[in-house]
Structure 1
Amino acid sequence: MNYKIITKVLSILIASVWFINGLYCKILNFVPRHQDIVARILGEDYAEAITKTIGVLELIMVVWILIDYKSKLNAIAQITIIILMNIIEFVLAKDLLLFGYVNIVIALLFSAIIYFNEFHLKEKIVQS
């Protein structure tokens, strides 16, 4: 099995999730619910600016993933951000979430894919 190809494809898919959420959902505001969630948690006054800033940070995450720099740290950062963000959203803005409590399940699955790619599949490459 060619683990290099699998990890590269998974990395591109993971980066695409950050890209879509950052650019499409937050910067371009095609999914206003994201800004509504930020407004609920951090207040209405700066919700638009904060949402766009989060979008830019997500695009930086895309670059970090694709250049594969300090990938273990990157994976830990992604997992931490995903889990914390989803817990905060669940507690403070559950009614605004697309899938309600299922969002946490999806976040855990996405985190598991990130973990599996970085700490399992990439280790197979090192071992071979």
Structure 2
Amino acid sequence: MNRIMIRVMVVGFILIVFGGCRTAPIFNVNEATITPVSGKEPTLEDVTKAIVSASAGSTPAWNMQVVKPGHIVATLHVRGHMAAVDILYTTNSYSIKHKESSNLKYDAADGTIHSNYNAWIQRLDGNIRGKLSLL
């Protein structure tokens, strides 16, 4: 009986220690098509406003910084973690690419990062798609 308890405790300890170390292939959005419901091609200014507004009311909230027309840097701070992405866009498409991060186990050589990052990017992408569809 003692051996079974020891094995259960060892397995439990391993799961606790390594359970928080979830990494996954990094998720980027590559040239997602912009298809407004109006059917008209939006202006670059319209796309900029839609992307910036995608963070409003979202949880967690991204800080959007317009670098130049067609380029926004979005930064997110969650507890002790930081993620920054480049959002590159035209009137027809947009991309979201990892720029930098801290405390997210990012490995450029393996192309992996903590899986929470991917969830944040997917949520941001969904918010952007929603705003762009209203153009």
TM (norm. structure 1) is 0.30
Higher strand share: 2
More helix by share: 1
TM-score (norm 2): 0.29
Q: Specify the structure having the higher radius of gyration (Cα).
A: 2
